[in-house]
């Protein structure tokens, strides 16, 4: 949550929102400040979900095998794909759902400000 708030605060400072007098512009800037971090948090949680499900195991296994081609044969990784997937599953990221819910909260706040912006025009 703190990363999202810091990102929102940086966006607000860059837009000079604390010196604004126009209400419509203020609502628009507040919407932008909460939409960006909210959507990024939702996207990051989706990527973690896909990664935990094994969506990127094949790509990373291929990368490990290509790198091992350039190593001496004694240091090469002789692990099978099944063993690699089992090892990766044991290291999956747990308890990341808070990113999704914090992102939804930021997106909801952004929607509130866009509705206020549309009414103030």
Same domain, 2 and 35: yes
Q: Give the tens place of pLDDT for each residue, 28-59.
A: 999 999 999 999 999 999 999 998 888 999 99
How many CA within 13 A on the CB side of residue 104? 7
Percentage, residues of the chain above pLDDT 90: 57
Q: Are residues 48 and 59 in the same domain?
A: no
Q: How far apart are the first and last CA of the chain?
A: 31
- Which comes out higher in pLDDT, residue 93 or 86? 86
d(CA 15, CA 39): 19
Is residue 31 a contact partner of residue 114, using CB atoms and an 8 Å limit?
Answer: yes
Q: What is the pTM of this model?
A: 0.80
Same domain (yes/no): 61, 46 = no
Q: Which domain holds residue 8?
A: 1-53+96-121
Q: Which residues contact 107 (CB under 8 A, 6 or more apart)?
A: 34, 35, 38, 39, 42
Q: Within this chain, do residues 8 and 59 fall inside the same structural domain, yes or no?
A: no
- At 11-33, the pLDDT tens digits run 999 999 888 889 999 999 999 99
């Amino acid at each position: 949550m703190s990363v999202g708030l810091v990102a929102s605060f940086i966006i607000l400072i860059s837009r000079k929102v604390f010196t604004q007098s126009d209400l419509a512009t203020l609502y628009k800037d507040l919407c932008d400040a909460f939409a960006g971090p909210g959507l990024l948090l939702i996207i990051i949680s989706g990527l973690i979900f896909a990664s935990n499900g094994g969506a990127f195991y094949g790509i990373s296994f291929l990368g490990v095998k290509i790198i091992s081609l350039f190593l001496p044969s004694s240091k090469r990784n002789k692990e099978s794909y099944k063993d690699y997937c089992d090892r990766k599953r044991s290291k999956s990221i747990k308890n990341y759902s808070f990113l999704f819910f914090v992102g939804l909260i930021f997106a909801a706040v952004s929607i509130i400000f866009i509705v206020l912006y549309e009414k103030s025009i």
